[in-house]
Chains A and B, each alone.
Chain A
Amino acid sequence: MYVAGIDMGAKFVKVVILDDGEIKGKGMAPTGFDLDEAANSAFNSALENAGIQKDDLKHITSTGAGKKEVDFRNTEVTEVGAAAKGAISLFPGSRTIIEVGAEEGRALRSDENGRVLDFVINEKCAAGAGAFTEAMARALEIPVTEMGALSLKSAKETPMNAQCAVFAESEVVSLVHSKTSKEDIARAIHDAIASRISSMVRRLSIEKDVTLIGGLAKNIGFVESLKRDLNMDINVPDDPDFVGALGAALVARKKAKEG
């Protein structure tokens, strides 16, 4: 039985297709300014990847900021709900789940069944989300994908004072002028965002295991900074940005079974 989950993120739309709990196909497309087009494009590439037709799907569940924009959805699930289900399926020991996407950061506590116990959301401030590292990479004039590896080369802590992405850009520029190395600046950037994320997480009683998902989890520099700040090990799945879509697909599967 085929089902699908579609995660309408601020930056990318992600789709996961399951066949009896097993991942059969994935698709992704930039969200851009036309949500319909983005949803269809990600969805079609997932169908192609799975080698099935839209009619083969029993149930489609949407999640993410634009979850209500998906015309072809059967049901929808909240972002925290999808994150919990997806993370637990990959790391059954997860009790605290942190998700950092392009525009929002979230942390939640979940029981072993993926039921959400508590959560905190840090919304719509670029300083507390993935958009921060993107803006900083632009100021540093290096591709955002290289930021992580670059920061791992630094062993030095450099404090950043600005708590706003816009002001932090100027701070990065003046650090460059004052001849601070790009490695150290990259590390400072990851330390800064990790400290904001970990303070958010600390409002929950952190219970192990801790699992990190969302687009920023692909940045190894950030993961290192966060581990250091929380002083514990963190699980990071292979495709951290697809976990929300996976969670939505798992919800779809349950709904399909219930009929």
Chain B
Amino acid sequence: MQANYGYRDGSGEYYITIDTDKCDSCGKCVEACPSKILVMVSDPFDPMSDADIPIVIEAERKKIKYTCGPCKPVDKEREEPCIKACEPRAITHSW
């Protein structure tokens, strides 16, 4: 499943995409995120499955542009910790 968390508003498109088919449930992204906006939970999008997947917590989905801002400095080379921590490369950002 391609799970897209975030939004599009008048200023642009901000989505964190987690490909749960690639995710191996290791939880490293959750540990890596300095703002603690990722959590591991039993797949909320498939009630018949018991697999654990990382999700962006609900309260943060409306402001990831701001919360993730410090991980995306304009004046330095960027490497978002969540993306870097994920070995199977299951996480991408739209901005």
Contact = CB atoms under 8 A, between A and B. Distances in A.
Contact of B10 (A117, A123, A204): A123
A114 to B, nearest CB: 18
B62 to A, nearest CB: 4
Interface of A: 109, 117-120, 122-128, 161-164, 195-196, 199-200, 202-205
B10 A199 contact: no
B44 interface: no
Nearest to B65: A199
Contacts, number: 47
B48 interface: no
A204 B73 contact: yes
Given A163-B62, A196-B66, A203 B11 contact: no
A124 B75 contact: no
B66 A205 contact: no
19 contacts: A120-B74, A123-B10, A124-B10, A125-B9, A125-B10, A125-B11, A161-B59, A162-B62, A164-B9, A196-B63, A199-B67, A199-B70, A200-B66, A202-B69, A202-B70, A203-B70, A203-B72, A204-B74, A205-B75
B62 A203 contact: no
Interface in B22-66: 59, 62-63, 65-66
Nearest to A120: B74
Residue from A126, A161, A163 with most neighbouring chain B CB atoms (10 Å):
A163
Contacts of A200: 66, 69
Nearest to A195: B66
B75 A117 contact: yes
A205 B73 contact: yes
Nearest to A124: B10
Contacts of B73: 203-205
A118 B11 contact: no
A119 B67 CA distance: 18
Sorted from nearest, which 5 A-B pairs have the closest CB atoms?
Answer: A199-B66, A125-B10, A124-B10, A125-B11, A118-B75
Contacts of A161: 59, 62
A161 B62 CA distance: 9
B66 A123 contact: no
A161 B9 CA distance: 16
Contacts of B59: 161
